[in-house]
Chain A
Amino acid sequence: MAAANGEESFIHPMDQFVIKPLFGGGEVQLLSITNSTLWMAISVLAITALTVWGTSGRALVPTRVQSVAELLYGFVRQMVEEVAGEGSMKYFPYIFTLFAFILFSNMLGMIPGSFTPTAHIAVTATLALAVFITVTVIGFLRHGTHFLTFFWPKEAPGWLRPVLCVIELISYFVRPVSHSIRLGANMLAGHAVLKVFAGLFAMVIAGGLGPMAVVPLAAMVGLTAFEFLVAFIQAYVFAILTCVYLHDALHMH
């Protein structure tokens, strides 16, 4: 689409998502270190710096970094306890890892010129599918074949049950789809819209309409603040839905 607009177009909103090898160039191979790899690594390093290095003092009165790490810990722990319910603490490290990774990827993606791994459906689909498989396995391990009654609505009148069962099954298998697309599409759309306004700003300046550039600039400032909110909310939504699915597997409604 950028090519179709011709050489002079300023608007390439999708170019920021292009995955390219950092070394050597050419095709992206399985083991290629790409910009996506780099920013995943930066996320992992940042989380490690916060939660491992930041808490190494084990201070009774926490330092600033330590209290941020404790805040994050408390936030996720409370969410797991309240939403996933009894017996869910075993999976707390998993949900914490998910939440921290998505939150840091989203937030680091707000740095101009950086890359957002979570704006890629390959990443969010892998995460969502991993949650789906984990939760389904937990359901069967905990309840055996009894877990299948999760899809059989006992309260409904007899003739409705098969119909509702089909709907339940569909909605269950749609979970990873909505789970992954919600996060990926939000990140994609937000970054793309920011880029569109940035391009518009450049176009207005290049077109000699100087003062008019205030409009896209103001829109960018507002949207940037909004995107920070979305970056947090989407990480939170992903984690809390994981907790909801885990609760279903552990307690079956």
Chain B
Amino acid sequence: MATETAADAAGHAAEAAHGSGGLPQLDFATWPSQIFWLAVAMVVLYYLMSRIALPRISETLEERADAIADDLDKADEFRRRAAEAEKAYEQALADARAKAQAIAAEARAEIQAQVDEALARADAEISARTAESEKRIREIRDEAAAAVVAVATDTAGALIDAILPEAQNAKAVAAAVKARA
């Protein structure tokens, strides 16, 4: 901006020299220089871009994309392995649970068998003792019945002796007691 006055002077000089309407854009005397240097700039820039900058950026981006793809592949691999490990763990857990259940069932069956056996033994003992007790009760009852017949015979014999001593007949008394027992 500071050089504006100098520029003004040069500009006005140029305008005066060429008599153009004032627009510096239409001062055709400057066109060859502008076009020449534009061509130089474009050729230099095109060379630098197409030979150095763009291939380099393209390679860098490709390398980055490759690196990212590699990392993603690795992550996938790790995820797959983790899933496998989890599956194996679940399997082991299920196996262990099944085994535990089997062992528990076995133990239960064994205990049941022991309990059944003990019950059977107890039943047998009880019925044996019951039979013995019944037998003794019968013996006692028979003995008592026999004792009653003997007492009755004796009593009847004594009675007959006292009332009718001449009609003493032990055999007839025993038969009569037996008939009324």
Residues in chain A within 8 A of chain B (CB atoms):
1-3, 12, 14-20, 25, 27-32, 34, 36-37, 40-41, 43-44, 47-48, 51-52, 55-56, 58-60, 62, 66, 69-70, 73-74, 92-94, 96-97, 100-101, 112-113, 117, 119-123, 126-127, 130, 184, 188
Verify A55–B23 contact, CB threshold 8 A: no
- The CA of A73 and the CA of B64, in the complex, are separated in Å by 15
List, in ascending order, chain B residues with CB within 8 A of A121's CB. Answer: 25-26
Count residues of chain B with CB under 8 A from any CB of chain A. 49
Q: How many A-B residue pairs have CB under 8 A?
A: 159
- The CA of A44 and the CA of B46, in the complex, are separated in Å by 10
List, in ascending order, chain B residues with CB within 8 A of A93's CB. Answer: 46, 49-50, 54
15 contacts between A and B (CB under 8 A): A14-B24, A17-B24, A18-B7, A18-B8, A47-B45, A48-B45, A51-B49, A52-B48, A55-B56, A58-B56, A60-B64, A100-B49, A126-B34, A127-B42, A130-B42
Interface residues of B in 19-78 (CB under 8 A from A): 22-27, 29-39, 41-42, 44-46, 48-50, 52-54, 56-61, 63-64, 67
Known: A18-B11, A41-B41. 7 other contacts (CB 8 A): A19-B33, A37-B37, A44-B44, A48-B53, A56-B56, A58-B60, A97-B45
Verify B60–A70 contact, CB threshold 8 A: yes
Interface residues of B in 58-112 (CB under 8 A from A): 58-61, 63-64, 67
By beta carbon, the residue of chain B nearest A43 is: B41
- The CA of A127 and the CA of B35, in the complex, are separated in Å by 9
List, in ascending order, chain A residues with CB within 8 A of B41's CB. Answer: 40-41, 43-44, 101
Given A52-B53, A58-B56, A60-B64, are A119 and B45 also a contact pair (CB < 8 Å)? no
Verify B25–A17 contact, CB threshold 8 A: yes
B142, chain A: closest CB distance, angstroms: 116
Verify B60–A2 contact, CB threshold 8 A: no
B127, chain A: closest CB distance, angstroms: 94
- The CA of A121 and the CA of B63, in the complex, are separated in Å by 42
List, in ascending order, chain A residues with CB within 8 A of B58's CB. Answer: 73
A37, chain B: closest CB distance, angstroms: 4
- The CA of A41 and the CA of B43, in the complex, are separated in Å by 12
B66, chain A: closest CB distance, angstroms: 10
List, in ascending order, chain A residues with CB within 8 A of B27's CB. Answer: 19
B65, chain A: closest CB distance, angstroms: 11
List, in ascending order, chain B residues with CB within 8 A of A14's CB. Answer: 11, 22-24
Does residue B10 face the partner (Cβ distance < 8 Å to A)? yes
Verify B46–A94 contact, CB threshold 8 A: yes
- The CA of A2 and the CA of B11, in the complex, are separated in Å by 10
A211, chain B: closest CB distance, angstroms: 24
List, in ascending order, chain B residues with CB within 8 A of A32's CB. Answer: 33
Verify B53–A51 contact, CB threshold 8 A: yes
B32, chain A: closest CB distance, angstroms: 5
List, in ascending order, chain A residues with CB within 8 A of B64's CB. Answer: 60
